[in-house]
Amino acid sequence: MKRLAVRMLAALALVSSAHMAMAQSKTVSSEMRTETATVEAIEASSRTLTLKKADGSYLTTVAGPDVTRFDEVKLGDTVNVRYYENVVIRVKRPGESDVMSGVKGTTGSEQVLPGGTRAKQVTITATITTIDAAAPSITFTGPNGWKYSSKVQDTEALAKVKVGDKVDIVWTEAMLVSVERK
């Protein structure tokens, strides 16, 4: 989640939303990636898969308990993954309550071979704590001591927000996994 938060905030350069009217939302980042890999090793006791990607690099991943058909994956299977993430931000109106929520879920595939979908959506309210127009950069703080600083590319938008402004940040990620057998 930390990696996602870093990417999300860097992409958001927050303030692309600042030139909107207060309380309007804007999608500031959206990305779909596709990866294909071959199962090279399976460690059943730890539910660990070693996958060889198309570029020759290896990735090791652990299938959590929500992956119910792990025992059906075989050496040599091709694993296809489509990964999507989306970020929406909204400058809050003065007096609006802070939010911090998250939902996630996993749905198994009804296909012959294993697969499924995993999705997660997190919403937080962050406060702008520092703006450096010379850099240009912005710093946010949020729940549980979370703090992030990032360079800003839209300097016009940066000029339209101020220290103390709050924004709701909603990020969504989803992953669709399918297995193919040769």
Structure tokens of 139?
A: 């710093």
pTM here?
A: 0.61
Contact indicator for 101, 169 with CB cutoff of 8 Å: no
pLDDT of residue 116: 85
pLDDT of residue 153: 75
pLDDT of residue 19: 35
Q: Over 80: is that where the pLDDT of 15 sits?
A: no
pLDDT of residue 149: 81
Residues facing 175 on adjacent strands:
83, 118
pLDDT of residue 113: 81
Tokens 């996993």 belong to residue: 106
**Rounded CA separation 82/88 (Å):** 20
Could you tell me the end-to-end alpha-carbon distance of the chain, in angstroms, rounded to an integer?
34
Q: Over 80: is that where the pLDDT of 89 sits?
A: no
pLDDT digits (tens, 9 = 90+) for 111-166: 788 888 889 999 999 999 999 999 998 888 999 888 988 787 778 878 888 899 99
